[in-house]
Amino acid sequence: MSDAHVQDREKERQEQDKRITEQLSRIKQTFLVMSGKGGVGKSTVAVNLAAAMADRGYSVGLMDVDLHGPSTVKMLGLEGEPVKMSGQRLLPIPYGERMKVVSMAALLEDRDTAVIWRGPLKIGAIKQFISDVLWGELDYLFIDSPPGTGDEPLTVAQVVKGARGIIVTTPQEISLLDIRKSITFCRQLDMPVFGVLENMSGLICPHCGQRIDLFSTGGGERTAREMGVPFLGRIPIRPEIVVSTDGGQPYVLSNDQGKEDFKVIIDKLEQGGKK
């Protein structure tokens, strides 16, 4: 590689870093929604948190950095929405009047296409999601990452200074073991943990209204207390969540029960989320 090429690459990197800094300066609060393992409903939580804050009148962005399994556009009914450009910048897909979405799923020509990328490509894509997307002024940016502590959450933690982690778990012991690693990950990278959220915390029977603790309960709160981080609350299992998610509408917007289930957590985001 010639010296001139190296200099050009360095100049491009510096220009991108400058754009990232400029973009982040216009975003008041950033939260990385993460989990220690898959299957805990992390993307469902990210979508509903973003939609709920937009419903309360805030300007909200949702960035899906789960590059191999993006699902937010499906959950929001945005599949097939065209991606538009403004000059060299990408325009996020609008959802309602106050919410904007960026996801790899919207950039693929075929929804069945597999993204087969190694680390450097994934890191580059995530940086572009920040530097080359016209987010504008945002009150909140929620970043939905894949489970674990790999390239995607690591890149966000290193690039998005000031981001805070929302760690999603289910109550059973196998999930609790993994959220300890997520908390340690955040601490090693000096990323504050905003709190732990216990999802699928009890099935509410649609016939009698009784609660059935399929996966036990209280484990997320206990682990948060032991690890010295805030506990945000519990979200129960309801058939309505599945119906609304598959139908492309956030549960928090589908009925009053959805707003009530997420109310405690949204209140904490609105009140305690202020620096």
Write out pLDDT tens, residues 166-216: 999 988 777 777 888 999 999 999 999 999 999 988 777 777 777 766 666
**How far is Cα 188 from Cα 14, in angstroms, rounded to an integer?**
26
Distance from CA of residue 220 to its chain's centroid?
A: 19
Mean pLDDT, residues 23-33: 96
> In which band, very low, low, confident or very high, does the pLDDT at 77 lie, cut at 50, 70 and 90?
very high
Q: What value does the mean pLDDT of the chain take?
A: 88
From residue 74, alpha-carbon distances to 33, 97, 251 in Å are 18, 19, 13
Which of the 8 DSSP states describes residue 83?
P
CATH of 23-272, one of 1.10.1040.50, 1.10.10.60, 3.40.50.300, 3.40.630.20: 3.40.50.300
> In which band, very low, low, confident or very high, does the pLDDT at 95 lie, cut at 50, 70 and 90?
very high
Share of the chain above pLDDT 70, in %: 91
Residue 16: CB atoms within 10 Å: 16
From residue 18, alpha-carbon distances to 9, 116, 237 in Å are 14, 29, 43
Higher pLDDT, 135 or 201: 135
pTM tops 0.85, yes or no: yes
**How far is Cα 262 from Cα 49, in angstroms, rounded to an integer?**
8
Helix (H) or strand (E) holding 48: helix 42-55
Mean pLDDT, residues 134-142: 96
